Amino acid sequence: MRNALPNATHAAWWQQTNLLVLVGGIIMGLSLGVRHVQGLFLLPITLEHGWSRETFGLAMAIQNLTWGVAQPVAGMLADRFGAVKVMAGGLLLYALGLVVMAHTTSPPVFIWVAGITVGMGLSGTSFGVVYGALSKLVAPAQRSGALGLAGAMGGFVQFAMVPAVQEMLSRWGWPGALSLLAALMVAVLPLAGPLRTPNPVENSSPSDMQMSAAIREAFQHPGFWLLNMGFLACGFQLAFVATHLPSYLLDHGMRPADAVVALAIVALTNVFGTYCFGTLGAVYRKKYLLSGIYLLRTGAMALFVMLPLSPWSLYVFAAVMGFVWLGTAPLTNGLVSQVFGVRYVSTLFGFVFFGHQLGGFLGVWLGSRLFEATQSYNAIWIIAMVLGVVAAALHAPLDDRELVRPGKPVAAT
């Protein structure tokens, strides 16, 4: 009888953690899943409106940049007013942007809503806010695994979005598909409720530390900038592949179905990869895992563009890329929590994520720009590979020790 209460308490805690992981994964998966399939809309939208690929590419590039610029603001709001309100606002903005995308015929309006409105929606519904909420609600020993599991759950939703959107496109066309996706954003609003964060589980900063002081402290830490610069390569690679791979394949004589299968494989293997790296982050040093991810991505790209293109070479490439697709996110968020604590993790990760989205802007826009100039994606593949090697080198010397503040004892090692 003596152990009944602790066991019951542990079971209740575990059920609560599973609920948090589930709802966080669904919201993040839907948000990232819609972004993941945007490449499937490129040709239908541009062909029907008579637009160039650069018009669509510019909208997606601005979306990535807006997401990055808005992420620190979304993080500050979540740290100050709670994650639930920020997620709700993000879902509504995302829905509004998708609805207007479906009905506008004006390139400037399309660029505005697809770029700025949806970009702001992404900032409130993706890594920074969801991982920040989980980091505060889950105990430190389980944090890395919980982030990896939430990312895996989000990856599964992302995987399901690929065939679902393809079916929507075939049944109702691209305007109907965008409208249905907007309705889904509104439908998941109630799921944000359990991620309310009135009191963080751990507050490694002194209670009187202000947000501005925490930001200054991070900006003076060299490792913070190494994370930011390394994350730029991640955003560049993922945004380029997600947006331009379908068009690249069609340009090389492959079927639209091959692009759909490739994106589905990326999303499916991302489920296992994100969970795997989240779990490994609790055992091995996160900075070395990040270096390994960037090197593996670069090697996969090099082999993909050098070997003859076939369905099987595409599927192997998609499987490898998917496995290392979003494994960087829980590891990077975990490093921010590990070094600076969780009190302002949403804010600080938001600033790091700006580097990711600056890379995303460049990956999407340069992909379109260089294609229009050369009718080839070769140059952008080379840039993506060079950035991968640079990112791997930047993470190796990063100082990942917990920051010791005056009056705080050094953690035992």
Write down the domain spans for the chain: 17-199+210-395
Backbone phi, psi, residue 296, to 5°: -65, -40
- Candidates 110, 121, 115, 134; CA nearest to 25 is 134
Task: Share the mean pLDDT of the chain.
Answer: 83
pLDDT of residue 206: 45
pLDDT over threshold 80, residue 303? yes
Distances (CA, A) of 164 to 167, 178, 184: 5, 12, 12
Structure tokens of 88? 């709700």
Instruction: Please write the tens of the pLDDT for every residue from 249-260.
Output: 988 888 878 888
Mean pLDDT check: name the lowest of 107-121, 330-344, 396-410: 396-410
Average pLDDT for 242-250: 85
Structure token pair of residue 230:
């390394």
Mean pLDDT, range 357-377, rounded to an integer: 85
CA distance linking residue 373 with residue 377, whole number of Å: 10
Q: What CA–CA distance (Å, rounded) separates 17 from 5?
A: 18
pTM reported for the whole predicted model: 0.74
306 Cβ contact partners less than 8 Å away, ≥ 6 residues apart:
none
Identify the pLDDT of residue 407: 56
Alpha-carbon separation of residue 35 from 285, 300, 313, 397 (angstroms): 30, 22, 24, 33
Give burial (CB, 10 Å; 0-12/13-18/19+) of 305. Answer: middle
What is the rounded average pLDDT of the residues 207-214? Answer: 72
Section 237-243 average pLDDT: 86
Alpha helices in 253-343 (DSSP H): 256-280, 286-306, 311-323, 328-340
pLDDT of amino acid 256:
79
Give the residue-averaged pLDDT of 176-188.
93
pLDDT in tens, 267-285: 889 888 888 888 888 888 9
296: its two tokens: 């593996």
366 vs 166: CA distance, rounded Å:
26
Q: Residue 1: what pLDDT?
A: 38
Percent of the chain topping pLDDT 70: 90
Long-range CB pairs of 53-57 (<8 Å, 24+ gap) are 53/247, 53/368, 53/371, 53/372, 54/368, 54/369, 54/372, 55/107, 55/110, 55/111, 56/368, 57/243, 57/244, 57/364, 57/365, 57/367, 57/368, 57/369
More confident: 351 or 1: 351
What value does the mean pLDDT take over residues 23-46?
A: 85
Give the per-residue pLDDT at 153. Answer: 78
Sequence-ordered list of residues with C-beta below 8 angstroms from that of 200, at least 6 positions apart, any chain? 136, 137, 342, 343
Residue 213, H or E segment: helix 211-219
Task: Tell which CATH classification among 3.20.20.70, 3.30.70.1350, 1.20.1250.20, 2.170.150.20 matches the domain 17-199+210-395.
Answer: 1.20.1250.20
Q: What local confidence, expressed as pLDDT, does residue 93 receive?
A: 95
